[in-house]
Every structure is written in C-alpha cells, then in structure tokens.
C-alpha cells in the first residue's frame, strides 16, 4: 500500500504499480488459454488476497482482469 484516502465515505487504497495486469497478460499470450498450473497460481494468489481483505472487512468493488495486477518473471508463462 502506498497511500490511502477517503472519497465519499469510502476508503480508497493505492497500491504500487506492478508489472502487468491480467488482461494485458491474456492479450500478450494471444488470447490462448494458460496452463492449469499457472491458473492455479493466479487463483491461489487472488483467493488469498480476497480472504485477507474479507478478514479486514474490505470490499473490492472493481474485480476484473484489468484490475488484477501481478508481479511476474518473464519466463513464468
């Protein structure tokens, strides 16, 4: 987290800019499906993040591929 602020009574959290978002990764892969192992890694990370947010009573209001960012090694996919 780099900073946080309130906007219209909503807590907004700014995070550091990561390498790539999920949509850009899908596009870079030619819109071809990923391996099951890679999907498992993404899903595990996302579910752990959502679980942690739930524990802290935080709701993510914009879940979509463009809002799912990852820090990846270039040989990861």
Residues with catalytic annotation?
62
Q: Which phi and psi angles does 69 have, rounded to 5°?
A: -105, 150
**What one-character DSSP code corresponds to residue 15?**
-
Residue labelled with tokens 């892969």: 29
């Amino acid at each position: 987290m780099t900073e946080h602020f309130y906007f219209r009574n909503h807590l907004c959290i700014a995070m550091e800019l990561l390498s790539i978002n999920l949509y850009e990764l899908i596009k870079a892969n030619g819109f071809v499906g990923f391996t099951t192992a890679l999907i498992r890694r993404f899903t595990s990370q996302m579910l752990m993040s959502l679980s942690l947010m739930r524990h802290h009573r935080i709701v993510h209001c914009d879940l979509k591929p463009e809002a799912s960012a990852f820090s990846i090694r270039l040989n990861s996919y």
